[in-house]
Amino acid sequence: MMNRREAIRLLAAGMALPVATPSALAMLREARTVVGSKVGSDTKLRTLNAHQEATVKAMAEMILPRTDTPGATDVGACEFIDLILTEWYDDSERSRFLKGLEDVDARSQSLFGKDFVGCSATQQAEILTALGEKMIAETEVVRNPRPARGDWSSRSNENFYSMLRRLTLTAYYTSEAGATEELHYEVIPDHFDSCAVQPVKEAPKP
């Protein structure tokens, strides 16, 4: 079984999206188990302060809101992000992420005269849309060479919102609720349906 440091490395670098292969998802789920399926649920945050925590939770919940399945907050996305910020990100990455949170509030103050967490859902959605457009634009302008396979942690110029989205999605889809209720992931499938050969119908006689 992988050790905790290796597990955190995989989770920090992982891209656990709904299109992840079963083997990749299984590896990331194992890593999540190593660091704890309920990351930070009973642990005080070590990097994010109270306001930053509220901002991350609000943004993560807008990325993956609660519907008929759990949302980002339900699976401890903020606690997961704090873990990565504390135990894996280097000083420059951590600083870039925290500066990004400051910029979100600055943008919110400029547009609506209040911090992001004080905005309405409509105003928050407007800000996230703008951040998404900025992320796409910066990705097109600064396109670094693709990192070696399996080494996504070398994205030294990754946009803040890209960092937040990646960590939120990884937190969600490696959680028990995200993997089982959203992706319907099964560690051991209960059955396998092989290709069924349909009987060939005879052509009608003339």
Distance between CA atoms of residues 183 and 173, nearest Å: 8
Token pair in block for residue 187: 């560690």
Beta carbons of 62 and 129 less than 8 angstroms apart: no
Q: Which amino acid is at 163?
A: M
The residue behind tokens 């998802």 is 25
Distance between CA atoms of residues 164 and 159, nearest Å: 9
Biggest CA–CA distance in the chain, Å, is: 81
Mean pLDDT across 141-153: 47
Q: What is the pLDDT of residues 122-146, one digit of tens each?
A: 999 999 999 999 888 887 655 554 4
Distance between CA atoms of residues 179 and 18, nearest Å: 9
Distance between CA atoms of residues 82 and 88, nearest Å: 10
Alpha helices in 64-153 (DSSP H): 77-87, 91-112, 121-141
Q: Which of 122, 47, 129, 121 is nearest to 80 (CA)?
A: 47
Q: Is the pTM of this model over 0.85?
A: no
Mean pLDDT across 56-68: 93
| Cβ-based neighbours of 167, under 8 Å, separated by 6 or more | 12, 77, 80, 81, 84
Q: What is the pLDDT of residues 157-182, one digit of tens each?
A: 788 999 999 999 888 888 776 556 55
Beta carbons of 41 and 77 less than 8 angstroms apart: no
In sign, the C-alpha dihedral spanning 174, 177, 182, 184 is positive
The residue behind tokens 């943008």 is 107
pLDDT of residue 33: 72
Beta carbons of 186 and 89 less than 8 angstroms apart: no
More confident residue, 153 or 13: 13
Q: What is the pLDDT of residues 2-46, one digit of tens each?
A: 676 777 776 777 654 554 566 666 666 666 676 665 464 556 899
